[in-house]
């Protein structure tokens, strides 16, 4: 398997078919086209074509004022909207030369981790439907409801949260939040543990996942794969540990890694990361200082000094970065997003070659790449 | 011409001797069709409701009161008024023929399912549309037709997904027809007959599931594969193949194929009840408890259907190469082992 | 337990059509009559099975709308325009199984008549120890041969999905 082999080079032979999966296919969270050249049930060549929901976000951002961009960052990937808000705000804060308040930092970590939990839950759920396990999907969505409600209680919305602000956050915690959160997360922890046990012991599930779609450490790091797929391939890389932003250096957590790099490990990493995130949230709720949750005075129009910044974050899918150049006006001069899902998506075709048609859905879903973010 | 005369002779005798009572058969046939139609509908409803419970959903709850009992009627109206499309690339006759073959194979299976054994004036009357002395062989043969139906649909649709599904179906059949047959033979060995009525009669004290639990497991798994339910629904694995062989079917034509599939599942449940769970016999040692046998049969069949749905709610799907592997490397050895076991046990009992 | 109610077990599988039925329903009729009695209901069901879809599709034709748009009659391929035909020389990756399947299906066909014969052999010939029964022995020998074949192929690695 080489990672150059990601294009269909020759027309199909008489015993081969060119099978289009996409842009409207049940395996996909969003529209993309996966062309497969198959012989029997085996995939000979694979090619990924993206761009069906290209929104031109980076260019759009250059035509908006800084505060107008903020809600749009939600739409980069609706499952990681909190992380996107946060990485954008930290970039602008660096340009402005301000720091978020101490309480706001904890609140952002709290919402980021909640965001990670709900994204992972949905990711695992989508994955399990792709091996024909609809029940687990519905369980995951049920569990996710509690987490989304926790996010809703803080941010006021369930999907596009638009929570972080320059130098702070939009709202403080509602009264009685800690008890509510600890209760929901305590139940979630038990449920996730039981689901983990179930997914590690079901023989059909194991046969469908062990040793399938192995992403080697070398290919993963060469292609810039990040997040759970990379950690499942045995690379201990997590921005929260390597470059601790916000208050991650004050919190205790483990970076989850697995060694096999197969579908099973990727899902396992996500399951265990949910437990770690719950642990982080519990610490946040304990250690959170009182004080203001936003800056006392902020200028009405944000005009950073000329300069450039690259801020990055470990979002649910890996390393999300935003590169912003300011020319001193109220709009960014240049805006560039480095999304984790794009890198993950380009690792997909080489993984598919030589596998069965039946495994396409499983492998694609285990990468958990977000089409919305890939196309931006 | 000769056949025609024979039929005429038959009809004359039929109507001249009252004890033949053709109308009894006619009513019985109608009832059986109605019952199995009803059974398939009940299964569809149960599947939605019970699967909903397993998956912590509500299931149908709008049409026809809180429990959505009229949902299926609403669905039928929808299917009847939907446009019927035959794709331009499809092989028209295969495409049209597939649901018909599937449904016909279901009907032919229904014809020999006995529902009870009545004792009238000292003689036995099996409540069946037709009583054959090779009914179990006939059932297996006729159920094999549905495999052709799916392959016809797969090849005839002109869609690549359907094509893959059609070939997967053949692979599945290759993997599971043999263990299914051996499990049936293991039962017939103990009953010394290929007649289902005789097989059920042989279970009047002990059910065959007690005598050969391994055979039951093999038969149940093979039957799951035969009727194409999770974990063996590779032919319509929607995540890879959209709807598999049914991708190009729409409206009522799809409805017919779908209905045929449930008909097969219901008949399969009847067969498993008849040959392993004692059929219309009551509980082992306890007996019928003054409840008519037909109710025992139907109650047990519904339990088997619930088991089908439970399995669907609890398991993921196998990959097709694993399916055929398990069929040959696990089920066939187990089935043969069970055959040896049941031969010995059967002879000891004899 | 009722051991055996048929009285014509000596007949082999091919002549199953002539086995005398002991159902009193048709007991006093001849063989031809019995075949008809068994299979006429089946034939009626066959007609039903063929007719019901046709009737239903006729009803649908009356009730449902029709469209002439050629786009509706294209093949669905996840929203892409299908390229190439689906009628190809499909690579059947399980042909090794398929060959074995034919063998085993034939074996099954041998087993069916044997089922009704063997116990009769044991009982009628008053075999004390059933292992000495000819039919059991013959079938065991046959099965062992077939099984050895299966094991040989398995060992040789033929039993696998050929990629």
Together in a domain, A11 and A155: no
Chain C residues within an 8 Å CB radius of A207: none
CA dist B336 and C139 (Å) reads 12
Give the confidence band of A210 by pLDDT, cuts at 50, 70, 90: confident
Give the confidence band of B113 by pLDDT, cuts at 50, 70, 90: confident
Mean pLDDT, to the nearest integer, of B8-32? 60
Within-domain flag for A342: yes
Total of domains in chain B: 1
Chain C residues within an 8 Å CB radius of B90: 75
Nearest CB to A27: which of B164, B240, B321?
Answer: B240
Chain A residues within an 8 Å CB radius of B54: 135
pLDDT tens per residue across span B33-42: 787 778 888 8
CA dist A104 and A182 (Å) reads 20
HSE of B254 in the Cβ direction (CA atoms, 13 Å)? 21
Residue C22 has pLDDT above 70, yes or no: no
- DSSP run (H or E) holding A374: helix A371-375
The percentage of chain B sitting over the pLDDT mark of 70, rounded to a whole number, equals 91
Last residue within a domain, chosen from C63, C78, C104: C63
Chain A residues within an 8 Å CB radius of C86: 17
Total of domains in chain A: 2
Give the confidence band of A7 by pLDDT, cuts at 50, 70, 90: confident
| Inter-chain residue contact C82 with A20, CB threshold 8 Å | yes
Provide the residue range defining the domain that includes C47. 2-63
Residue C17 has pLDDT above 50, yes or no: no
Residue A20 has pLDDT above 70, yes or no: yes
Mean pLDDT, to the nearest integer, of C100-116? 83
Give the confidence band of C46 by pLDDT, cuts at 50, 70, 90: confident
CA dist A361 and A126 (Å) reads 10
Within-domain flag for C30: yes
Q: Which of A314-323, C22-31, C90-99 has the highest mean pLDDT?
A: A314-323
Last residue within a domain, chosen from C63, C80, C114: C63
User: How confident is the model at residue C5, as a pLDDT?
Assistant: 39
| Inter-chain residue contact C163 with A42, CB threshold 8 Å | yes
Within-domain flag for A221: no
Which residues 41-70 in chain A show a CB within 8 A of chain C? 41-42
From residue B333, give the alpha-carbon distance in Å to each of A232, C139, C146, C152.
38, 16, 12, 14
| Inter-chain residue contact B316 with A205, CB threshold 8 Å | yes
Within-domain flag for A352: yes
Within-domain flag for A237: no
User: How confident is the model at residue B19, as a pLDDT?
Assistant: 44
Chain A residues within an 8 Å CB radius of C91: 15-16, 39-40, 42
Residue of A nearest to C163 (CA): A42
B317 touches A at CB < 8 Å: yes
pLDDT tens per residue across span B69-99: 888 888 888 888 888 888 888 888 888 889 8
Provide the residue range defining the domain that includes B224. 2-349
| Inter-chain residue contact C86 with B188, CB threshold 8 Å | no
Together in a domain, A13 and A144: no
Residue B9 has pLDDT above 80, yes or no: no
A8 touches C at CB < 8 Å: no
Interface probe for A, chosen from B221, B239, B317 (most Cβ of A below 10 Å), is B239
Chain C residues within an 8 Å CB radius of A18: 83-84
| Inter-chain residue contact B239 with A129, CB threshold 8 Å | yes
Together in a domain, A162 and A290: yes
| Inter-chain residue contact A40 with C78, CB threshold 8 Å | no
Residue of A nearest to B163 (CA): A40
Closest CA to A355 of B241, C95, B160, C163: C163
CA distance A185 to chain C (A): 39
CA distance B268 to chain C (A): 18
Residue C28 has pLDDT above 60, yes or no: no
B89 touches C at CB < 8 Å: yes
| Inter-chain residue contact A15 with C83, CB threshold 8 Å | no
CA distance C8 to chain B (A): 12
Q: How confident is the prediction for chain A on average, in pLDDT?
A: 86
Give the confidence band of B218 by pLDDT, cuts at 50, 70, 90: very high
| Inter-chain residue contact A12 with C82, CB threshold 8 Å | no
Mean pLDDT, to the nearest integer, of B3-10? 62
User: What stretches of B88-247 show up as alpha helix (H) in DSSP?
Assistant: 92-110, 135-143, 145-156, 160-191, 196-201, 208-211, 213-227, 238-241
Higher pLDDT, B265 or B21: B265
Q: Is the pTM of this model over 0.90?
A: no
Within-domain flag for A234: no
Provide the residue range defining the domain that includes A23. 3-49
Find chains touching chain C: ≥3 CB pairs under 8 Å: A, B
* Helical packing angle, A134-155 and A177-201, nearest 10°: 160
CA distance B58 to chain C (A): 30
The percentage of chain C sitting over the pLDDT mark of 70, rounded to a whole number, equals 67
| Inter-chain residue contact A356 with B313, CB threshold 8 Å | no
| Inter-chain residue contact A15 with C80, CB threshold 8 Å | no
Together in a domain, A198 and A165: yes
Together in a domain, A42 and A78: no
| Inter-chain residue contact B317 with A132, CB threshold 8 Å | yes
Phi/psi region, residue B294 (left: phi>0; alpha: psi -120 to 50; beta: rest), is alpha
Please give the interface size between A and B, counted as residue pairs whose CB atoms are below 8 Å apart.
76
Together in a domain, A153 and A184: yes
Q: How confident is the prediction for chain C on average, in pLDDT?
A: 71
The percentage of chain B sitting over the pLDDT mark of 90, rounded to a whole number, equals 3
CA distance C77 to chain B (A): 7
Within-domain flag for A220: no
| Inter-chain residue contact B171 with C94, CB threshold 8 Å | yes
Please give the interface size between A and C, counted as residue pairs whose CB atoms are below 8 Å apart.
46
Together in a domain, A308 and A348: yes
CATH code of A109's domain: 1.10.645.10
Interface probe for B, chosen from C61, C101, C133, C162 (most Cβ of B below 10 Å), is C101
CA dist A119 and B277 (Å) reads 46
| Inter-chain residue contact C90 with A41, CB threshold 8 Å | no
Q: How confident is the prediction for chain B on average, in pLDDT?
A: 82
8 Å CB contact between A293 and A168: yes
Contacts of B273 (CB under 8 A, 6+ apart): B279, B297, B300, B301, B304
Last residue within a domain, chosen from A14, A33, A49: A49
Mean pLDDT, to the nearest integer, of C73-102? 81
- Number of residues assigned to chain B: 350
Could you tell me the sign of the dihedral formed by the alpha carbons of C149, C155, C160, C163, in that order? negative
For residue A24 the two structure tokens come to: 């409207």
């Amino acid at each position: 398997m080489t990672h150059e082999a990601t294009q269909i080079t020759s027309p199909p032979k008489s015993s081969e078919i060119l099978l289009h999966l996409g842009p409207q296919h049940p395996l996909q969270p969003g529209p993309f086209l996966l062309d497969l050249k198959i012989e029997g049930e085996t995939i000979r060549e694979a090619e990924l074509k993206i761009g069906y929901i290209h929104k031109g976000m980076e260019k759009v951002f250059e035509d908006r004022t800084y505060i107008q961009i903020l809600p749009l960052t939600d739409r980069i990937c609706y499952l990681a909207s909190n992380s996107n808000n946060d990485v954008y705000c930290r970039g602008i804060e660096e340009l402005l030369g301000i720091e978020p308040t101490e309480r706001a930092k904890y609140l952002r970590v709290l919402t980021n981790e909640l965001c990670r939990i709900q994204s992972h839950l949905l990711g695992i759920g989508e994955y399990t439907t792709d091996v024909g396990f609809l029940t687990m999907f519905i369980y995951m969505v049920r569990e996710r409801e509690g987490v989304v409600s926790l996010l809703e209680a803080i941010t006021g919305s369930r999907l596009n949260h638009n929570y972080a602000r320059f130098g702070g956050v939009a709202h403080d915690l509602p009264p009685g939040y800690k008890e509510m959160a600890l209760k929901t997360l305590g139940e979630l922890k038990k449920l996730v543990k039981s689901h983990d046990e179930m997914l590690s012991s079901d023989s059909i599930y194991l046969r469908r996942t062990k040793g399938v779609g192995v992403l080697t450490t070398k290919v993963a790091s060469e292609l810039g794969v990040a997040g759970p797929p990379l950690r499942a391939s045995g690379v201990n890389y997590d921005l929260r540990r390597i470059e601790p932003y916000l208050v991650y250096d004050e919190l205790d957590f483990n970076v989850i890694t697995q060694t096999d790099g197969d579908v099973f490990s990727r899902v396992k990493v996500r399951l265990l990361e949910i437990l770690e995130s719950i642990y982080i949230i519990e610490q946040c709720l304990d250690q959170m200082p009182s004080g203001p949750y936003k800056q006392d005075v902020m200028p009405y129009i944000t005009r950073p000094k000329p300069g450039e910044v690259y801020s990055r974050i470990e979002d649910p899918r890996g390393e999300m970065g935003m590169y912003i150049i300011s020319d001193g006006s109220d709009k960014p001069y240049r805006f560039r997003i480095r999304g984790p899902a794009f890198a993950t998506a380009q690792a997909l075709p080489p993984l598919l070659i030589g596998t069965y048609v039946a495994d396409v859905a499983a492998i694609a879903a285990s990468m958990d790449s977000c089409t919305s973010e890939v196309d931006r | 011409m000769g056949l025609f005369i024979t039929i005429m002779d038959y009809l004359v005798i039929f109507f001249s001797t009252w004890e033949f009572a053709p109308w009894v058969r006619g009513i019985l046939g109608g009832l059986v069709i109605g019952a199995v139609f009803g059974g398939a509908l009940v299964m569809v409803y149960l599947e939605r409701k019970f699967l909903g419970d397993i998956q912590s959903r509500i299931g149908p709850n709008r049409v026809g009161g809180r429990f959505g009992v009229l949902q299926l009627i609403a669905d039928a109206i929808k299917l009847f008024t939907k446009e019927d499309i035959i794709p331009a690339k499809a092989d028209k006759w295969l495409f049209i023929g597939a649901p018909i073959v599937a449904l016909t194979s279901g009907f032919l299976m229904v014809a020999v399912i006995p529902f009870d054994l009545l004792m009238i004036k000292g003689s036995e009357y099996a409540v069946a549309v037709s009583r054959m002395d090779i009914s179990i062989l006939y059932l297996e043969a006729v159920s094999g037709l549905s495999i052709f139906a799916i392959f016809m649909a797969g090849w005839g649709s002109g869609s690549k997904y359907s094509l893959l599904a059609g070939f997967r179906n053949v692979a599945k059949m290759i993997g599971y027809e043999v263990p299914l047959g051996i499990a049936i033979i293991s039962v017939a060995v103990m009953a010394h007959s290929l007649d289902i009525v005789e097989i059920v009669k042989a279970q009047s004290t002990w059910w065959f599931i007690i005598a050969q639990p391994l055979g039951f497991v093999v038969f149940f798994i093979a039957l799951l594969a035969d009727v194409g339910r999770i974990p063996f629904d590779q032919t319509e694995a929607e995540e890879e193949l959209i709807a598999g062989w049914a991708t190009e079917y729409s409206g009522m034509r799809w409805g017919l194929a779908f209905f045929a599939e449930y008909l097969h599942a219901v008949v399969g449940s009847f067969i498993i009840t008849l040959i392993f769970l004692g059929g219309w016999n009551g509980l082992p040692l306890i007996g019928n408890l003054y409840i008519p046998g037909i109710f025992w049969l139907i109650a047990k069949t519904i339990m088997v259907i619930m088991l089908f749905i439970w399995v669907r709610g609890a398991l993921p799907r196998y990959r097709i190469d694993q399916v055929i592997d398990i069929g040959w490397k696990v089920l066939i050895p187990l089935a043969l082992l069970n055959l040896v076991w049941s031969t010995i046990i059967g002879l000891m009992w004899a | 337990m009722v051991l055996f109610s048929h009285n014509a077990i000596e007949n082999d599988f091919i002549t199953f059509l002539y086995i005398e039925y002991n159902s009193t329903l048709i007991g006093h009729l001849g063989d031809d009559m019995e075949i008809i009695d068994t299979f006429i209901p089946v034939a009626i069901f066959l007609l039903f099975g063929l007719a019901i879809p046709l009737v239903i599709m006729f009803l649908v034709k009356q009730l449902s709308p029709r469209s002439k748009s050629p786009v509706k009659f294209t093949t669905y391929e996840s929203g892409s325009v299908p390229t190439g035909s689906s009628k190809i020389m499909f690579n059947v990756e399980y042909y090794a199984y398929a060959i074995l399947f034919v063998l085993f299906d034939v074996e099954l066909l041998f087993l069916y008549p044997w089922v009704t014969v063997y116990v009769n052999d044991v009982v009628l010939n008053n075999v004390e120890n059933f292992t000495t029964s000819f039919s059991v022995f013959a079938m065991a020998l046959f099965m062992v041969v077939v099984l050895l074949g299966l094991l040989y192929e398995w060992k040789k690695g033929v039993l696998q999905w050929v990629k």
